[in-house]
Structure 1
């Protein structure tokens, strides 16, 4: 029986952040198709604590605690001429595990989740390689370079340049490369260096519509006596999220509270950076830090916002809020890749003034907000279930037919 090797830069458990949500559902889907061997990293002791879940799903696995700091990886990368992203995820134990699995097991395909892990695919491997870039990392570093100081800008520009070359090379090595949206696919294609045209496809993110069901949320928040609740969710040490909540708290909330004085802004998510923690209490902003379950904060919100100015791929936070029938106000960057209609299934606005204006319009019209929320859930149920999204994987891995009808676009 054909088997699959799955490589990921982070253990897919628990599926509580964007990359883990996608990798976890992909891994589970592959495990239902064939025995799967998994090589991945743990960021910390909490990640290591989820090894039993990985062991229960995988035919074999290698989980390595990643201890090399970014400064150390940066120095090594400068010495070798490699991207920092690759150096930070280089590990001898993982290389040895991959070599052993390929030598001992009938591996027909390798699924590579995130570009950093492509360094573990041997040039000699003759089976299928599915490279899931998710989004274009090199473009993200280019965006970071535009807002940093001289030293940061120099490092980000170097990373973007080297990573772009690497992305181009491994896309041509792969049987097929996946991006999370048609827009990311087009961006990746436009950035390719000269050479053979690789096979690129878009495989969108999905949503667990049973878990994100507004009718089945334990401990839904009751904010009696408080005014309208505006909520942002996400990993709060991620620079685009940090920039988004800083802008909303400092530039948008004053305009909202000038009209609705008791409106509150909830920033919900783990590991808030110092700049995020400093927002607690600023213009009625509440920074929660990690919560056991994000759903009560979402279903208890009058409005969910995603005011990102730098965004790659599909924002799971947007789809999750839509699945929970909440009205979502998003920037064009945060709405990219979601084929919902502006004004019907979500609302799109750009800039602090427009965001404040649209937020006030939605908060003043609860009937329209509820209608948008219900339409949003109907859209997610129709278009974004994981089984529907992942149906092509069997065919991409050479394990069977594609299942037809799924959302994969060239």
Structure 2
């Protein structure tokens, strides 16, 4: 196998949020197959250059993406999605051209649709487009539930990004999505599937890192409980909506039956609206923590009451791997082929959320059995090696022989 160019909209380190977890493991798998060159955008972590120096044959790290207002202005003038304008960078484009001219690049792996703009139209090797999920559908949902100018901007973004997703997928050799549901959704949003090779590559989980015995017990972390935990990036609109829903509509009813019940919000960058939730009785906003595992380990219940969700929720897989009972909405369960009532419990609507949470609190043996079944499911079905087993076949040189791998990426076309 020759060399690979890997393009990502966010530096894949540290692997501490959904997209970065996936891109991190994909990049490590690519580096194990052969030399990889990485073009990406830095974030506030400060570790990007050090990480890429250790794993990539060469790299180009853009210090930051454009500010939202500047990207929006450019997008409006050029008639393109804001998502593309935000990640357009002349220096990165020039570096990509140099790598393709001077290195034996057999394949380009594009992580997230925003980066497909860097693939030249006549690249002779393989192009893999990892959309993860259908971003345009997320913006459609924002537009549907929003109001005023912001809703118009979201509706525009959804409409324009939908067209770009189809164009990019048609140009790529293979397009990857994170679940069968996302693949099916994508099919409904394109004019035809002609010349689109659509496959599913699900997210995995590091079940050795996220394990019940991976962290020492911290029984004084929370109060007597029961303690409900939500983890996630807390400036992300679906996560914000989920915790607001829990605090305003679900927790008060739970506390009527279990007065000492508490809700803990764990995740970086909480907005002012999220921080304000901490003033409510029984609510603690922890913000960014050095290690999320103790907060999961000491939970009586991990909740994911998302109303907008794309792809597979890593927060759900992490809690399941740590043998915790998980209460989630149908949206948050998307793409996880576990059984309701066995490896997790699904609740549709606030009243069902309340009832199922109380039932798990009152039947600890059932909750414990659900947690054990959840971990067994993750070990059997959701490991990263299993998810990435077919990556080598996807990236084989156009005129070369397929690499030997342990299993295929599942075909969803």
Calculate the TM-score normalised by the size of structure 1. Answer: 0.97
Query: What is the SS of the residue equivalent to 2:324?
Result: coil
Question: How far off is 1:125 after superposition?
Answer: 0.6
Question: How far off is 1:196 after superposition?
Answer: 2.5
Spell out the pairing of 1:120-131 with structure 2 (5 A cutoff).
120-131=118-129
1:162-195 Cα offsets, whole Å, 9 max, x none, are 1001000110100000000011001111101247
Q: Could you tell me how far apart the structure 1 residues matched to 2:175 and 2:76 are?
A: 28
Residue of structure 1 in register with 2:333 after alignment: 335
* Contact 2:13 2:47 (C-alpha < 8 Å) held by counterparts: no
Spell out the pairing of 1:203-218 with structure 2 (5 A cutoff).
203-218=201-216
1:205-224 Cα offsets, whole Å, 9 max, x none, are 00001100111214645347
Question: How far off is 1:275 after superposition?
Answer: 1.1
Residue of structure 2 in register with 1:27 after alignment: 27
Residue of structure 1 in register with 2:115 after alignment: 117
Q: Could you tell me how far apart the structure 1 residues matched to 2:41 and 2:219 are?
A: 35
Using a 3 Å threshold, how does the CA distance of structure 1 residues 221 and 236 change in structure 2: closer, same or farther?
A: farther
Using a 3 Å threshold, how does the CA distance of structure 1 residues 225 and 96 change in structure 2: closer, same or farther?
A: closer
Residue of structure 1 in register with 2:390 after alignment: 392
Out of 322, 339, 348, the residue aligned to residue 346 of structure 2 is 348
Question: How far off is 1:6 after superposition?
Answer: 0.1
* Contact 1:266 1:285 (C-alpha < 8 Å) held by counterparts: yes
* Contact 1:204 1:408 (C-alpha < 8 Å) held by counterparts: no
Query: What is the SS of the residue equivalent to 1:214?
Result: coil
* Contact 2:233 2:270 (C-alpha < 8 Å) held by counterparts: yes
* Contact 2:37 2:56 (C-alpha < 8 Å) held by counterparts: yes
Residue of structure 1 in register with 2:303 after alignment: 305
Residue of structure 2 in register with 1:63 after alignment: 61
Out of 381, 403, 406, the residue aligned to residue 405 of structure 2 is 403
Out of 187, 205, 212, the residue aligned to residue 189 of structure 1 is 187
Residue of structure 2 in register with 1:143 after alignment: 141
Query: What is the SS of the residue equivalent to 1:293?
Result: coil
Question: How far off is 1:226 after superposition?
Answer: 2.2
* Contact 1:77 1:83 (C-alpha < 8 Å) held by counterparts: yes
* Contact 2:4 2:107 (C-alpha < 8 Å) held by counterparts: yes
Question: How far off is 1:50 after superposition?
Answer: 3.1
Structure 1: gaps of 5 or more residues = none
Q: Tell me how many residue pairs correspond in the alignment.
A: 408
Q: Could you tell me how far apart the structure 2 residues matched to 1:391 and 1:144 are?
A: 35
* Contact 2:222 2:298 (C-alpha < 8 Å) held by counterparts: no
1:248 maps onto 2:246 in alignment: yes
Q: Could you tell me how far apart the structure 2 residues matched to 1:345 and 1:23 are?
A: 26
1:293 maps onto 2:295 in alignment: no
Residue of structure 2 in register with 1:320 after alignment: 318
Q: Could you tell me how far apart the structure 1 residues matched to 2:19 and 2:60 are?
A: 19
Spell out the pairing of 1:264-279 with structure 2 (5 A cutoff).
264-279=262-277
Q: Could you tell me how far apart the structure 1 residues matched to 2:111 and 2:315 are?
A: 20
Q: Could you tell me how far apart the structure 1 residues matched to 2:184 and 2:294 are?
A: 37
After TM superposition, the structure 1 stretch with the greater mean CA deviation from structure 2, 190-199 or 49-58, is 190-199
Out of 100, 103, 110, the residue aligned to residue 102 of structure 1 is 100
Q: Could you tell me how far apart the structure 1 residues matched to 2:222 and 2:179 are?
A: 40
1:3 maps onto 2:9 in alignment: no
Calculate the TM-score normalised by the size of structure 2. Answer: 0.96
Q: Could you tell me how far apart the structure 2 residues matched to 1:184 and 1:261 are?
A: 40
Q: Could you tell me how far apart the structure 2 residues matched to 1:197 and 1:224 are?
A: 54
* Contact 2:217 2:297 (C-alpha < 8 Å) held by counterparts: no
Query: What is the SS of the residue equivalent to 1:207?
Result: coil
Question: How far off is 1:258 after superposition?
Answer: 0.1
Using a 3 Å threshold, how does the CA distance of structure 1 residues 28 and 254 change in structure 2: closer, same or farther?
A: same
Q: Could you tell me how far apart the structure 2 residues matched to 1:323 and 1:132 are?
A: 25
* Contact 2:8 2:39 (C-alpha < 8 Å) held by counterparts: yes
Q: Could you tell me how far apart the structure 1 residues matched to 2:248 and 2:184 are?
A: 34
Q: Could you tell me how far apart the structure 2 residues matched to 1:7 and 1:81 are?
A: 24
1:233-279 Cα offsets, whole Å, 9 max, x none, are 00000000000000001100011000000010000000001111110
Using a 3 Å threshold, how does the CA distance of structure 1 residues 407 and 394 change in structure 2: closer, same or farther?
A: closer
Q: Could you tell me how far apart the structure 2 residues matched to 1:127 and 1:114 are?
A: 19
Quote the RMSD (CA, aligned, Å): 1.3
Using a 3 Å threshold, how does the CA distance of structure 1 residues 352 and 402 change in structure 2: closer, same or farther?
A: farther
